[in-house]
């Protein structure tokens, strides 16, 4: 059986570049795929039914946050009661995250920026979309505070791509770092998620289809089996992943 290759942060940066520049797949398409699949897994974690369930989306200013905002839209459409807490002022978001936030504002969703001392609203599920693979060192400021509050809240946490605070290549869990019940990583598993140091914070590991063409992987020298023959989200076991 062919294993699923794990990749480094530098390789996933190249995947993103090649999708946009070589294949003409726009970032908004990738973000939509990521967010829709994140909402799908969130519904599964809520017992398969989002109707009336309280979901808190913690979103950063980057593209990881944009994916969380897409998930918020899909969860609202599924009947969930969604609140959004941003790690920054809404005006600090640019490009696609700002575009996604504008949609949610027009939908009338509760959107707040984190302020020191505020408590997070109650939730059946917290979605962590604060920091993606661009992490550099310890989270700071509102990002750090939101991570600490999420860990202390008691609700299960679902992280997008990586638990915020975890280095996706080295597996170092910086301080603070989200302790997720489940992590939905994108395209291919990142090596940092598989390190022994990461196991306490990653939780159950899932993989989401964001539409990467098989030819792209072949050009990178990666032997990737058909990953999503049974659906756009799959659970991964460590034994089926090949380390680089």
In the predicted model, what is the mean pLDDT of residues 169-197? 96
Is residue 183 within 8 Å of 238, Cβ to Cβ? no
Tell me how far apart the alpha carbons of residues 32 and 241 are, in angstroms, rounded to a whole number: 26
Q: What is the pLDDT of residues 67-125, one digit of tens each?
A: 999 999 999 999 999 999 999 999 889 999 999 999 999 999 999 999 766 788 899 99
Tell me how far apart the alpha carbons of residues 174 and 165 are, in angstroms, rounded to a whole number: 5
Is residue 128 within 8 Å of 150, Cβ to Cβ? yes
pLDDT of residue 1: 66
The ranges assigned to domains in the chain are 4-242
**Average pLDDT of the chain to the nearest whole number:** 95
Is the pLDDT reported for residue 56 higher than 80?
A: yes
Distances, alpha carbon 79 to alpha carbons 55, 101, 168, 210, 214, in Å? 11, 19, 33, 24, 35
In the predicted model, what is the mean pLDDT of residues 36-53? 97
In the predicted model, what is the mean pLDDT of residues 171-187? 97
Unique residue bearing structure tokens 């996933």: 12
pLDDT of residue 216: 98
Three-class SS of residue 14?
helix
Is the pLDDT reported for residue 176 higher than 80?
A: yes
Provide, rounded to the nearest whole percent, the portion of the chain with pLDDT above 70. 99
pLDDT of residue 2: 83
pLDDT of residue 243: 80
Structure tokens at 193: 């998620």
Architecture of domain 4-242: 3-Layer(aba) Sandwich (3.40)
């Amino acid at each position: 059986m062919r294993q699923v290759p794990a990749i480094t942060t530098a390789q996933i940066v190249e995947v993103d570049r090649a999708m946009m520049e070589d294949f003409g797949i726009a970032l908004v398409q990738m973000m939509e795929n990521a967010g829709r699949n994140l909402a799908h897994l969130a519904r599964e974690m809520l017992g398969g039914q989002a109707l009336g369930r309280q979901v808190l989306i913690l979103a950063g200013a980057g593209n990881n946050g944009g994916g969380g905002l897409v998930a918020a839209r899909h969860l609202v459409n599924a009947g969930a009661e969604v609140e959004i807490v941003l790690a920054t002022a809404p005006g600090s978001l640019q490009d696609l995250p700002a575009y996604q936030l504008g949609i949610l504002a027009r939908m009338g969703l509760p959107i707040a920026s984190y302020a020191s001392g505020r408590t997070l609203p109650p939730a059946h599920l917290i979605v962590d979309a604060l920091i993606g693979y661009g992490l550099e060192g310890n989270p700071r400021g509102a990002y750090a505070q939101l991570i600490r509050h999420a860990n202390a809240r008691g609700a299960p946490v679902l992280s997008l791509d990586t638990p915020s605070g975890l280095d996706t290549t080295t597996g170092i869990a910086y301080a603070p770092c989200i302790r997720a019940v489940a992590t939905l990583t994108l395209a291919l598993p990142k090596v940092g998620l598989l390190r022994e140091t990461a196991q306490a914070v990653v939780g159950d590991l899932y993989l989401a289809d964001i539409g990467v063409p098989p030819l792209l992987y072949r050009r990178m020298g990666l032997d990737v089996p058909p990953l999503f023959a049974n659906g756009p989200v799959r659970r991964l076991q460590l034994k089926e992943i090949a380390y680089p």
